[in-house]
Copies of this chain bind each other. A is one copy, B any other.
Amino acid sequence: MGLFSPSKVAYAHCDLMCGVYDPAQAKIEAMSVLKACEKYAASDDETFRQRAVLIKEERAELVKHHLSVLWTDFFKPHHVEAFPELHDTFWKAIKAAGDAKKSMDVEVSKKLIAAIDDISGIFWKTEESKASGVYPQ
């Protein structure tokens, strides 16, 4: 847990960090998207299925929001230099969240989760994640 580990000392001296960031937020919502698809497929109750579509829409929107915040608030120019694929990775991950809105296919949700895991991999390679993140992989 970065904030309570020795790395917190680094944070305490860091004027530029301005918040807590963790890909866990996007991941948890993406897990809900996946479960909504699984449950949709397993049910033949009309109201249940409608609610699954509705709830999945909200959860996928939250994924988009959390990823967008991470991309523009946590990552800094030196990260873009270190990870030249950063922008494209985020763009595709947010698009994957959009795809997950459009589809009830479990595979589409799994691609979204994989895309978030890729972002998580980059996030936890950064020095700043130690002070900002809460749930290391």
Contacts and interface: CB of A to CB of B under 8 A. Distances in A.
Counting chain A residues whose Cβ lies within 8 A of the other chain, the interface size class is: 35 or more
A80 B85 CA distance: 13
Nearest to A30: B20
A54 to B, nearest CB: 6
A3 B110 CA distance: 12
Contacts of A28: 20, 22, 24-25, 134-135
Contacts of A101: 51
A64 interface: yes
A127 interface: no
A51 B53 CA distance: 7
Nearest to A72: B94
